[in-house]
Structure 1
Amino acid sequence: MNHPEQMYTYHYWANQTLLNRIKELPAAVLREEVNTSFPTIAQAFGHIYAVESVWYQVLNGARMQDALEMCMPLEKETLQHSADQFANDFAQLAEQYREWLRSQDDLDRTILLENPYAGTRHTRLSEIVLHVVNHGTYHRGNVSAMLRQLGHASTMNDYSLFWYQEAGDSINLSK
């Protein structure tokens, strides 16, 4: 497994780990409002999912503007999802990423990325994958803080913990 693929596998594992913790809590926790980056945990997960979907489209040749228009509505469409539904959404998207990653001969290949918010630059495919992972890590931190504000403990989902998980070496992205 190459480094971007391993990092994406970690990203999927971390999302599932945090969602499994949320499944242990009352279902209402996803929609309880807090004063932080996102009003609710469901909105945070919806954002992670929508942005990850945007980048998947870009990796498959879509213009970023088109990918944004196609995928960002997912933020609102997922607002009423349960933790199980989010877990399934991420599992399906992870399977698509896994297939894409395995089909790539050169993750150092560059594409011209026209980001409507930041400008145009040549970007390696591997950079995009690592951005997806980094973006997810950032927002899982938001979710952990939100859980604490709501009076619940979060759970560890650090990359270093992933190293030591038995499933870490042989994780199946389709689950």
Structure 2
Amino acid sequence: MQTIRNMFDHLHWADTRLLQQLAETGYEGPEVIRLLAHCLFAEKVWLTRLQQQDSSAISIWADSTLEECQELAERNREGYLQFLNACTDPDAICHYRNQSGVPFSTSIRDILTHVALHGQYHRGQINALLKRHDHSPVSVDYILFAREK
């Protein structure tokens, strides 16, 4: 379970670095914000499912602002910390419905691993967009996080 906790610490660290870069540069390109918001709303959807609540009303492609992304990142961080601290059986099965209403059953461990890895893909897309628009990409590799830890 410690590896999953580390992955979530990294997730928050990486999101924070991206948010800081965007705030410092003032760059809020719509594609960048859309991808960042998608990561954060997907995290919220999965947390809602892990809490055995209905996630169908949460759009994973909702329009957002940088400020709203910053707030959601903090709420997600708090929610996942609470969930991880309370989780006694990561191999327990979570029953949920996807955004289309299709039922699934997946282990908590696999869901948490998915959430931690999902954002990394999109952070790479965000970095490519930053570079394309003449802004410095943000290093969000796990090894950098581990070195700072």
* TM above 0.5: yes
Question: Aligned in 2, Cα 1:103/1:136: closer, same or farther, shift over 3 Å?
Answer: same
> Secondary structure at the residue paired with 1:123?
strand
Q: Which residue of 2 aligns with 1:163?
A: 146
Q: Which residue of 1 aligns with 2:134?
A: 151
Query: Is 1:30 paired with 2:28?
Result: yes
Instruction: Answer whether contact 1:56 1:97 (CA < 8 A) is retained.
Output: yes
Displacement of 1:157 in angstroms is 0.6
- Normalization by structure 1: what TM-score? 0.76
In structure 1, stretches of 5+ residues that fail to align are 33-39, 169-175
Separation in 2, partners of 1:115, 1:92: 21
Runs of 4+ residues deviating >4 angstroms: none
Query: Is 1:72 paired with 2:59?
Result: yes
Q: Which residue of 2 aligns with 1:17?
A: 17
Separation in 2, partners of 1:144, 1:164: 21
1:112 pairs with 76, 82, 95, which one? 95
Displacement of 1:57 in angstroms is 0.6
Q: Which residue of 2 aligns with 1:95?
A: 78
Displacement of 1:130 in angstroms is 1.1
Separation in 2, partners of 1:96, 1:138: 22
In structure 2, stretches of 5+ residues that fail to align are none
> Secondary structure at the residue paired with 1:24?
helix
Q: Percent identity?
A: 24
Q: Which residue of 2 aligns with 1:48?
A: 39
Separation in 2, partners of 1:123, 1:46: 24
- CA RMSD across the alignment: 2.2
Displacement of 1:22 in angstroms is 1.5
> Secondary structure at the residue paired with 1:126?
helix
Q: Deviations over 1:7-62 (max 9, x none)?
A: 1111011100111112221x2x2135xxxxxxx11111111111111101110012
Separation in 2, partners of 1:19, 1:125: 28
- Normalization by structure 2: what TM-score? 0.88
Question: Aligned in 2, Cα 1:121/1:3: closer, same or farther, shift over 3 Å?
Answer: same
Out of 16-25 and 84-93, give the one that drifted further.
84-93
